[in-house]
Copies of this chain bind each other. A is one copy, B any other.
Amino acid sequence: MNIGRYAAGVPLDDGASTAAPPSPGKSRSGPSMADVAALAGVSSQTVSRVSTDPDKVRPDTRRRVQAAMTELGYSPNTAARALRYGSFETIGLIAHRLARTGESRTVEAVVEAARRHGYTVSLIDVRSPSPTDVDEAVARLSHQAIDGLIIIRAETATPATLALPPRLPVVVSDSRFVGHHPAVATDQTDGTRQAVGHLLELGHRTVHHLAGPEDSAPAEQRLTAWHDHLVAAGREVPAPWRGDWSAGSGYELGRHLAEDPEVTAVFCANDEMAAGLYRALHEADLRVPEDVSVVGFDDIPLAEHLWPPLTTVAQDFHLIGQLLVDLLLEQVRDRKDLADHRTLVPVELVVRSSTAAPRLSSPRT
């Protein structure tokens, strides 16, 4: 046995350029139908029948073939099958920063929905949502064995910059692609309206915003909606604070926010940043919600268990994932052209304990 504790970094070759074909090394391919057929004393077509529709062959023949399969350890060659059928039963998925928050929940839902339909999911995770990264991912994936493509967070990539292979069905979780590719997206505007409205109704004079990064479409949508809603309500619009979705950025910005006694209500573009803000407020000895009310976005599993439990806008990531798959498979299977299709998934404000009316003697002391 070969036990070892791993210490240093891993050496990694960054070779294998996108276009490079597989190395010519012969495959691990095991026995083929012909081998099974020879052993069982039948034709390879009969073997084929056994593996696709066993009822088409007589029980004793079937048993003989199955025995031969087991003996040789036969399993059908997917490549050949795919070539024959022209389908891989696989869909490609481009995600961004998988490990973060809701992204992974959408992925989970996509994988699950795909599985229900008999499809597998091929995943590419891009680091940044920059057009080049997304484009590279598309290039890579579309040279892979996929029947359709789901892009989560196309972000700054525009329909024009995406060099998609012709005839490849695509679905996007980004409303800016309407007219080019079918899209399923969260109703960011409504969610923001609910969050900001909730805080204003509680009596706050205005609402500060801890925004997401500029290269994120949802972040911009939330920012715009927050701005517009305040304007519509005739409130002062404070300068937004720019985070990067991470709890760390929420904490850093929160330390500045905490110093401003005018701040009584903060709408955070996601729950992680709200958690970072919590920490900054705690460190500044400010109480939530007595001194500052906080609202998040996403409703991550931990939101309910932060202290105090976080009021937040719940997104239905699971539904989004399901709808994406449904929409994609409609195109894959039925050759439908749904380019102008768009679904807006509603959100719901979950009121917990992080919001309250401002102190009467506001601003804070």
A residues neighboring B (CB under 8 Å): 1-7, 10, 12-17, 20-30, 52, 73, 75-83, 85-90, 93, 97-100, 104-105, 107-108, 111-113, 115-118, 120-125, 127, 140-145, 147, 165-169, 178-179, 187, 246-248, 250-251, 272, 275-276, 278-279, 282, 301-302, 304-309, 319, 322-323, 326, 332-333, 335, 338, 340-346
Contact = CB atoms under 8 A, between A and B. Distances in A.
Contacts of A308: 282
A34 B210 CA distance: 56
Nearest to A301: B247
B89 A99 contact: no
B111 A123 contact: yes
Nearest to A109: B99
Given A98-B108, A346-B6, A122 B90 contact: yes
Contact of A302 (B6, B29, B105, B272): B272
16 contacts: A5-B187, A5-B343, A22-B81, A22-B82, A22-B118, A27-B87, A79-B79, A79-B145, A82-B145, A111-B124, A111-B125, A112-B125, A115-B124, A122-B122, A122-B123, A251-B305
B122 A28 contact: no
Contacts of A345: 5-6
Contacts of A104: 98-99, 104
Nearest to A89: B22
A120 B106 CA distance: 19
Given A279-B306, A323-B10, A343-B6, A147 B1 contact: no
B24 A304 contact: no
A90 B144 contact: yes
Contacts of A93: 123
A125 B108 contact: yes
Nearest to A83: B79
Nearest to A11: B326
Contact of A85 (B10, B21, B142, B165): B21
B87 A335 contact: no
A140 to B, nearest CB: 7
A28 B275 contact: no
9 pairs of A and B residues whose beta carbons are closest in the complex: A27-B86, A16-B118, A73-B166, A79-B82, A79-B83, A247-B305, A104-B104, A78-B145, A75-B165
Contacts of A99: 104-105, 107-108, 301
A344 to B, nearest CB: 5
A115 B308 CA distance: 41
Nearest to A276: B305
A28 B167 contact: yes
Given A98-B107, A307-B282, A24 B144 contact: no
Nearest to A282: B307
A330 to B, nearest CB: 12
A111 B98 contact: yes
B120 A144 contact: yes
A75 B142 contact: yes
B302 A278 contact: no
